[in-house]
Structure 1
């Protein structure tokens, strides 16, 4: 199953200047729980936004830079190649950025979204979630608190049959 996982603002904002727009510790914890032990597909810029590779995950990096390599990671030229190197019997997680989400949403089976209930100025956006294609299967609201500056909801969308 191909699953897109992202933290997305009300206006579909994802980030700006290759950085996140908010800090939600519970979102990081959920992301780690869901993706640990799996292949994660991302664009090179998303990968470069991390201080180091994320532990206990197989990184598949998509880049047009033919000379780009990173020890311990799989580097490919396109989304089709990225999916091909992942085990067919396991969940595959697409983790960004905007261009990779746009290319992969037509192939996805599920969307795991942390919806940040705020609008942000951004330079990267998540594609629109079309209700004709995607059904909201579950939603869990969390109010802002001392560690979370914004209200947010964990949402799972499944592709309509």
Structure 2
């Protein structure tokens, strides 16, 4: 079974975005995201893809309900199970958003890589609450205004 990890930056209030963009720009965190996901397949919803585009060095698998949607250099799936199947046997597959895809992927995840951002921005897209009866924190790396936290499934 492929190792599925969710990677996300989330505000204190659970907000991850407004449906079109992230509510912050943290250069260090973008570098962490690139370093962590490089060489791995990434699964995302169409709106998340449209906000970030094709990222070099990673396979992009986009989940969409639109039957005729396509984009060069992107693989298209119409469900999370189809996207996971497309990802195939990979060392690790990263689910990178958005909110609906995170909620659906949570039961498949072995790890959560959460950037806890020390802000409470406005926004309509949220990350599901982490149930600490199912997850345990295995590392925390504090920075100025945010922390990188890794959870693994109990």
- TM-score when normalising by structure 2: 0.96
Shift of 1:16: 1.0
In 1, Cα distance between the equivalents of 2:94 and 2:100? 15
Do structure 1's residue 99 and structure 2's residue 100 form an aligned pair? yes
In 2, Cα distance between the equivalents of 1:107 and 1:156? 16
What's the Cα RMSD here?
A: 0.8
Query: Which runs of 4 or more aligned residues in structure 1 lie more than 3 Å from their structure 2 counterparts after TM superposition?
Result: none
| Residue of structure 1 equivalent to 2:133 | 132
Once the two structures are superposed, what CA deviation does each residue of 1:107-145 show, in whole Å capped at 9, x if it has no partner? 1000001000111111100000000001000001101xx
Contact 2:19 2:47 in 1 (8 A): no
Contact 2:116 2:149 in 1 (8 A): yes
In 1, Cα distance between the equivalents of 2:68 and 2:80? 17
| Residue of structure 2 equivalent to 1:159 | 153
Aligned residues: 152
In 2, Cα distance between the equivalents of 1:34 and 1:152? 17
In 1, Cα distance between the equivalents of 2:95 and 2:86? 13
Shift of 1:87: 2.7
Unaligned runs of 5+ residues in structure 2 are none
In 1, Cα distance between the equivalents of 2:36 and 2:98? 18
In 1, Cα distance between the equivalents of 2:131 and 2:19? 27
Once the two structures are superposed, what CA deviation does each residue of 1:32-74 show, in whole Å capped at 9, x if it has no partner? 0000111000000000012x30010000000000000111110
- TM-score when normalising by structure 1: 0.92
In 2, Cα distance between the equivalents of 1:86 and 1:64? 18
| Residue of structure 1 equivalent to 2:85 | 84
